[in-house]
């Protein structure tokens, strides 16, 4: 940490800060600039809280040197992590595609979708049984019955199942039926839930909060990793900005940034970001060209009757066309699909 | 709902949409403009999902007419709601002030703070026992031991206690010790938690998510109200913007907007918004002048030793000076403090 | 336009609004919903200002039906516009690449860069002679001398020149030396400048403001088009968000959205968006895969000595490698480079 | 400046950076942490560009120590600047109020408004003669005729006139008729214009861009101050965020922050921020309580016929009521109105 004192900080203020630093077992290196005194903190003892120092008189601000995440960082884990899921490898040469409806609505809907996306080349089946909805009056999902339907669709198609878990007490039941536990964007900083999926040792698809920085996403991953569960896939799904035409703004810069900062696989969700199925093809191609390890795409046999997110779900034949158009893009960046 | 068809939508597309509307028991009123056909939906049957309609061919977009919240709306509940808490009335003439440390760290710290803020005129005691922290390596709070300390401080000062609850399974234990259940900004859309505090029938302080719209805050309140618990206080605590000098941007426009749209009391948290104690006084004065029903302010006897958020906590004597400076502002807008 | 009256609006208020609408020569269609009265405005007379109506008693809000831009819209101009520049066609099958230094610093620097990017396959030369700088103490560009250097580099390489114009009075001199007039992001709503480049009839590269919506970008284009100058290329270069790791957030959704709403070519600037050269390759590939018609990329022979934006400029050999990696991506989406 | 090298930076990379620093006449102080090497730069020579250093191999990032503005900073100019305008002092004990219509539409409209706001206690008259409009089809202002009307209203009421200047070539004519030159939010980084008003030596009302940081606002002020014109008033008028209910989000934290960082007076524009006249009273009170030196408020005799921004303009009698309600708030924070 570096401490920048205010212009005109007194000798007593500087001495107080220095004493506070040394009290924790760290060393304080003073450097007098022409206008500001700088105090470098070299750590040996327990880390000092930046906020404590910033509350002291005469301190202008502090600058951290170390990144706040360690297990998630490439600095300390240079090789890519590959997450194995029933024989599929996420984070390797193959770009994986998770596809399926926003919500599980009926056995027929899920079976039709699962067979359709399998035929089109999807690698996994997605679908929501527990649904986080903005309105208490909206369809809240089929719950356990939905999980059973997903498990049956897996049996029929051999596609591993990805589904959301919304509360710590759901982790056990969801783990019984699903292969990957999804943490939704609104729960990215639900720490009780992060601990629970960390302990479960199951593969996790961790979605970036619509309001969360890349650093905060990696801190949320750190919570899961700190339980020894390193099967974490990071998912960018659009952040909130002032632009109103799209539902969210897909931050594709997050792909190269996450690849630089971390060793974990990166998945892109173009459906939630755009909020309009017409935009999904363009964004899915861009995601693969940017270097993403996978996509998660919403597909529904009849979007005009969907109980949630109808506007952003692709029909099955449009999904098949999307897959066809993605293969040359994957090849162009040295990947398979 | 109003449906705006695309320029050049075909007769067949218009007929399909009309049929879909009538199928749900609603009426469709066609209006041919020079460039767009507009379909007005007059509801009698079950509401139609806008997203379903938007997924249909030829539809440009839809426009909702009704606001999506009802129990929280002033339209359907014109009078102000006053929330009673151990004899204190939140939402009445008196501006209430909740004060105390970010985290409960020790019995001494809480007792000293509670007595100090009581003497300065605070109306309630705040303090965190369960702490949501960005890093898994940060202090996570004292848990139940922290709750006991808060309850003891209440006994000593008769100040009601506000404290955060982070997971549904904590609602029972927190309700045993505290008077008001706080939902933190990161949990504003943790629906399992909203249901649990709704069922508890306890007063709730609901913080706006840092990237949540005012409408989403009212939808979150609707979740709690839909359980028959109408003791909800709304709290603006800063939203995320591009500005980096303050930790968040305090959205004081939310005060008159929430007062117009809703009947629920509005509390402002200047400490978390600013992230710097030097800014708290200015923002606290502004909040009261804007018409807020209360403040929640962080106070710590020794911020430079605080285990969380040191930079934004006021020392006790500075809090006393703040209270003195707020009284004339409250009087200027016809309130007491 | 649709006018939504407040819940409980009085008969007199509704009559006032209706009268105001009819006074302008438009027709007012009343529709009584269960909770709100809706007034549809069918235009024949001069358009009514939405803000005027919104200031009237009893009005809740208004909803526009027509998009506010016309000349820039695909609705009224279904075919793609192709902008011809010295034999190059922007907006056709070929993806064009504009490359060169942020600032023109010296004849040697520009010549070396121009020859290098030409050899690597660039289609145009970019470089700033007039520089908008956040600080009055930063290098402000070589001005007219810089324009002469660019024109000489064009002579040597036959690459057309793109350069920024910052004020109406610079349009004439810049037009003497350059092929494309660039409007920078900070000037997207500098209306005096938009009028001047509109009148010039020169090709224009119009950059989206970092704070501007897609609709506002198209409105700015409308200013230029309204002077009969339809040689406008739209450029997305990153918008401002809360994310701090990248300088701006590149909004690649803007590519399919602009292609849907407008007929004008779309160029992407990955260099300014990212602010870091390491991210440029990933974003450039994504831009082409998303359907962009071109790229504008910063290249400098010695970025560590650049007088502006050193961190985001590619060295010449890295630009050549970038071009090689882009060709298969262009081919994968049916384009050439 | 402090340079933070990457984890694992080589000795050669560190030597290169050190050499680059010393080449400019500065000194490089090396400090080896456990995981990163830090290089402190102590300046004697000409300042080094941070971006150049960041483009070098092995550099992770750089941290500036000095703020980039000097003339605008309180560090180097501790006393408040008071801007005198025809006997009125902006930045002193009195809170000043600039009031008037968005656009000058007619002599009658301006005269009626000027007399009304004068009677209610306003200190200056505002009104737009040159109007920046998002659409080329909207009313663009009366131009010079509008300036003459404003000057006549000044003659009749002795209220100094504030009006916008949109291009460098308008500075002379606007200076002939007006007392204060306003730079609009969309032109905050129109550097040609900033230079021109700097040279004019006239009082300037500089509006913060809707997507500009506080630091960038102060850098724009620095452009004006660097011409020896220190009569600059800073104006916060709302920034762009994801919240859609208000037109912009008024950032009242900017008041104490600007007061801390700078010596220049701070004015608040609640009308443009809110976009709805119903919210103006609450925000105007809050602004004064926060410590603002003045307000700029839109007032129109008949907002439902206004040629621009009708929804946010107060009727004259409502403005008078606003002024009455502001006086006790000003008194509560030790100011007069």
Name the residue of chain A whose CA is nearest to B225's CA. A136
Q: How close A256 gets to chain C, by Cα (Å)? A: 6
pLDDT at D171 over 80: yes
Indicate if the alpha-carbon torsion angle B152, B156, B157, B160 is positive or negative.
positive
Per-residue pLDDT of chain C (337 residues; tens, 9 = 90+): 889 999 889 999 999 999 999 988 888 888 887 778 889 888 765 667 888 898 898 999 998 888 889 999 998 899 999 999 999 999 999 999 999 999 999 999 999 999 999 999 999 999 999 988 888 888 889 999 999 999 999 999 999 999 999 999 999 999 999 999 999 999 999 999 999 999 999 999 999 999 999 999 999 999 999 999 999 999 999 999 999 999 999 999 999 999 999 999 999 999 999 999 999 999 999 999 999 999 999 999 999 888 888 888 999 999 999 999 999 999 999 999 9
CA distance C288 to A332: 12
Contact state of C34 with B40 under an 8 Å Cβ cutoff: no
- CA-nearest of B186, C127, C233 to A220 is B186
CA distance A292 to B204: 42
CA distance B4 to B114: 58
pLDDT at B291 over 90: yes
Name the residue of chain C whose CA is nearest to D55's CA. C311
Q: How far, rounded to the nearest angstrom, does the alpha carbon of residue C273 sit from its chain's CA centroid?
A: 13
Q: Which band of pLDDT confidence, cut at 50, 70 and 90, is reported for residue B47? A: low
- How many Å is the maximal CA-CA distance in chain B? 76
Instruction: Name every chain D residue with its beta carbon within 8 A of the beta carbon of A35.
Output: 65-66, 75
Q: Let me know: does C133 contact C140? Beta carbons within 8 Å.
A: yes
Shortest CB distance from B273 goes to which of D215, D253, D285?
Answer: D253
Instruction: Name every chain B residue with its beta carbon within 8 A of the beta carbon of A313.
Output: 55
Is B29 or A229 the better-scoring residue by pLDDT? Answer: A229
**Beta-carbon count within 10 A of A334 CB:** 10
Strands C204-207 and C232-236: parallel
Name the DSSP class of C94.
B
Q: How close C175 gets to chain D, by Cα (Å)? A: 18
The mean per-residue pLDDT over the stretch A192-201 comes to: 96
pLDDT recorded at residue C147: 97
CA distance D169 to D175: 11
B285 CB burial (10 A radius; 0-12, 13-18, 19+): buried
The helix-helix angle for C214-225 and C254-261 (nearest 10°) equals: 40
CA distance A255 to A268: 8
pLDDT recorded at residue C47: 67
Shortest CB distance from B31 goes to which of C29, C75, C241?
Answer: C29
- Where b means 16+ CB within 10 Å and e means fewer, D142-160 reads beeebbbbbbebbeebebb
Strand ranges (DSSP E) for D191-289? 204-207, 232-236, 266-268
Shortest CB distance from D29 goes to which of A4, A31, A42?
Answer: A31
Name the residue of chain C whose CA is nearest to B63's CA. C63
Contact state of B40 with C40 under an 8 Å Cβ cutoff: yes
- Integer-rounded Cα Rg, in Å, for chain B is 23
Q: Which band of pLDDT confidence, cut at 50, 70 and 90, is reported for residue D157? A: very high
The mean per-residue pLDDT over the stretch D258-267 comes to: 97
Name the DSSP class of A253.
T
Name the residue of chain C whose CA is nearest to D309's CA. C51
pLDDT recorded at residue C306: 85
List residues of B whose CB lies inside 8 A of any C CB: 2, 4, 7-8, 29, 31, 33-36, 38, 40, 42-43, 63, 65-66, 75, 211, 240-242, 244
The mean per-residue pLDDT over the stretch D91-119 comes to: 97
Number of H helices, E strands in chain B: 11, 14
Name the residue of chain C whose CA is nearest to A328's CA. C332
Instruction: Name every chain A residue with its beta carbon within 8 A of the beta carbon of C239.
Output: 241-243, 249
pLDDT recorded at residue D46: 64
- CA-nearest of B179, B258, B262, B191 to B227 is B191
The model's pTM: 0.94
Q: Which band of pLDDT confidence, cut at 50, 70 and 90, is reported for residue B68? A: confident
Name the DSSP class of D205.
E
Indicate if the alpha-carbon torsion angle C64, C70, C74, C77 is positive or negative.
positive
Instruction: Name every chain C residue with its beta carbon within 8 A of the beta carbon of D304.
Output: 20, 52-53, 55-56
Name the residue of chain B whose CA is nearest to C248's CA. B242
pLDDT recorded at residue B230: 95
The mean per-residue pLDDT over the stretch D205-222 comes to: 97
- CA-nearest of C57, B194, D259 to A190 is B194
Contact state of A42 with D31 under an 8 Å Cβ cutoff: yes
pLDDT at D36 over 70: yes
Contact state of D306 with C55 under an 8 Å Cβ cutoff: yes
Which pair of tokens denotes residue D304?
A: 């439902």
Contact state of D239 with B239 under an 8 Å Cβ cutoff: no
pLDDT at B138 over 90: no
Shortest CB distance from B33 goes to which of C7, C42, C63?
Answer: C42
- Integer-rounded Cα Rg, in Å, for chain D is 23
Name the residue of chain B whose CA is nearest to A304's CA. B52
Instruction: Name every chain A residue with its beta carbon within 8 A of the beta carbon of B51.
Output: 306, 308-312
pLDDT at B325 over 80: yes
Contact state of B49 with A307 under an 8 Å Cβ cutoff: yes
Contacts across the C-D interface (CB distance below 8 Å): 128
Name the residue of chain A whose CA is nearest to C244's CA. A213
CA distance C224 to C229: 6
DSSP C312-329: GPBPHHHHHHHHHHHHHH
State the chains in contact with A (3 or more Cβ–Cβ pairs under 8 Å).
B, C, D
In tens, the pLDDT along A234-279 reads 999 999 999 999 999 999 999 999 999 999 999 999 999 999 999 9
pLDDT recorded at residue B35: 79
Contact state of D65 with A33 under an 8 Å Cβ cutoff: yes
Q: Which band of pLDDT confidence, cut at 50, 70 and 90, is reported for residue A87? A: very high
pLDDT recorded at residue A304: 85
The mean per-residue pLDDT over the stretch B103-123 comes to: 97
Torsion of CA D14, D16, D17, D23, to 10 degrees: 140
Best mutation target among B208, B212, B244, B286 (most D Cβ atoms within 10 Å) is B286
Q: Let me know: does B282 contact B80? Beta carbons within 8 Å.
A: no
Q: How close B65 gets to chain C, by Cα (Å)? A: 7
Q: How close D248 gets to chain A, by Cα (Å)? A: 10
- How far apart, in Å, do the first and last CA atoms of chain A sit? 44
A228 CB burial (10 A radius; 0-12, 13-18, 19+): exposed
Report the range of poorest mean pLDDT among A317-331, C31-45, D117-131, D168-182. Answer: C31-45
Contact state of B303 with A216 under an 8 Å Cβ cutoff: no
State the chains in contact with D (3 or more Cβ–Cβ pairs under 8 Å).
A, B, C
CA distance B102 to B271: 10
Q: Let me know: does C59 contact C34? Beta carbons within 8 Å.
A: no
In tens, the pLDDT along D291-332 reads 999 999 999 999 988 888 888 899 999 999 999 999 999 999
Q: Which band of pLDDT confidence, cut at 50, 70 and 90, is reported for residue B219? A: very high
**Beta-carbon count within 10 A of C10 CB:** 12
The CA angle C257-C262-C263, to the nearest 5 degrees, is 125
- Integer-rounded Cα Rg, in Å, for chain A is 23
- CA-nearest of B49, C236, D237, C225 to A243 is C236
Instruction: Name every chain C residue with its beta carbon within 8 A of the beta carbon of B33.
Output: 42-43, 65
Name the residue of chain A whose CA is nearest to D5's CA. A65
pLDDT at D23 over 80: yes
Indicate if the alpha-carbon torsion angle D254, D257, D262, D265 is positive or negative.
positive
- CA-nearest of A243, A137, A210 to B67 is A137
The proportion of chain A whose per-residue pLDDT surpasses 90, expressed as a percent, equals 78
Name the residue of chain B whose CA is nearest to D277's CA. B256
Strand ranges (DSSP E) for chain B? 2-5, 27-32, 37-42, 59-63, 83-85, 88-90, 96-100, 124-126, 161-164, 180-183, 204-207, 232-236, 266-268, 294-298
Strand ranges (DSSP E) for chain D? 2-5, 27-32, 37-42, 59-63, 83-85, 88-90, 96-100, 124-126, 161-164, 180-183, 204-207, 232-236, 266-268, 294-298
CA distance C127 to A304: 50
Residue found by looking up tokens 């979708």 in the block: A113
State the chains in contact with C (3 or more Cβ–Cβ pairs under 8 Å).
A, B, D
pLDDT at D176 over 70: yes
Report the range of poorest mean pLDDT among A51-65, A275-289, C23-37. Answer: C23-37
| Contacts of A191 by beta carbon, 8 Å cutoff, 6+ apart | A223, B132, B133, B166
Question: Which residues face A161 on adjacent strands?
Answer: A125
Shortest CB distance from A2 goes to which of D2, D34, D244?
Answer: D2
- CA-nearest of A278, A272, A310, A315 to A105 is A310
CA distance B188 to B232: 13
pLDDT recorded at residue A205: 98
Name the residue of chain C whose CA is nearest to D24's CA. C305
Instruction: Name every chain B residue with its beta carbon within 8 A of the beta carbon of C240.
Output: 242
pLDDT recorded at residue A46: 64
State whether residue D151 is helix, strand or coil: helix
Shortest CB distance from D282 goes to which of B215, B243, B255?
Answer: B255
The mean per-residue pLDDT over the stretch D199-207 comes to: 97
pLDDT at D238 over 90: yes
Contact state of B245 with D213 under an 8 Å Cβ cutoff: yes
Instruction: Name every chain D residue with its beta carbon within 8 A of the beta carbon of B244.
Output: 213
Shortest CB distance from B29 goes to which of C31, C42, C43?
Answer: C31
Instruction: Name every chain A residue with its beta carbon within 8 A of the beta carbon of C274.
Output: 253
Contact state of D306 with C52 under an 8 Å Cβ cutoff: yes
């Amino acid at each position: 940490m570096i401490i920048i004192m205010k212009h005109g900080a007194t000798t007593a203020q500087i001495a107080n800060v220095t004493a506070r630093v040394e009290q924790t077992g760290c060393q304080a290196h003073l450097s007098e600039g022409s206008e500001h005194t700088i105090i470098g903190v070299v750590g040996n003892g327990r880390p000092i809280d930046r906020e404590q120092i910033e509350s002291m008189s005469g301190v202008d601000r502090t600058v951290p040197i170390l990144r706040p995440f360690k297990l998630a960082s490439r600095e300390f884990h240079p090789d890519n992590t590959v997450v194995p899921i029933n024989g599929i490898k996420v984070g390797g040469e193959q770009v994986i595609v998770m596809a399926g409806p926003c919500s599980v609505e009926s056995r027929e809907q899920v079976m039709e979708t699962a067979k359709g996306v399998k035929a089109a080349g999807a690698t996994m089946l997605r679908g929501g049984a527990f649904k986080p909805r903005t309105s208490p009056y909206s369809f809240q999902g089929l719950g356990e019955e939905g999980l059973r339907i997903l498990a049956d669709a897996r049996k029929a198609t051999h596609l591993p199942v990805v589904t959301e878990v919304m509360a710590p007490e759901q982790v056990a039941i969801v783990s019984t039926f699903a292969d990957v536990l999804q943490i939704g964007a609104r729960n990215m900083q639900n720490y009780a839930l992060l601990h629970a999926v960390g302990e479960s040792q199951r593969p996790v698809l961790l979605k970036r909060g619509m309001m969360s920085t890349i650093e905060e996403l990696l801190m949320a991953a750190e919570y899961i990793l700190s339980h020894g569960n390193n099967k974490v896939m990071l998912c960018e799904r659009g952040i909130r900005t002032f632009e109103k035409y799209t539902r969210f703004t897909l931050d594709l810069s997050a792909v190269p940034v996450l690849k630089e900062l971390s060793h974990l696989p990166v998945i892109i969700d173009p459906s939630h970001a755009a909020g309009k199925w017409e935009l999904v093809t363009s964004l899915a191609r861009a995601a693969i060209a940017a270097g993403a390890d996978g996509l998660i795409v919403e597909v529904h046999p009849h979007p005009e009757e969907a109980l949630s997110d109808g506007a952003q779900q692709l029909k099955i034949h449009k999904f098949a066309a999307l897959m066809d158009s993605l293969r040359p893009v994957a090849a162009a960046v040295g990947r398979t699909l």
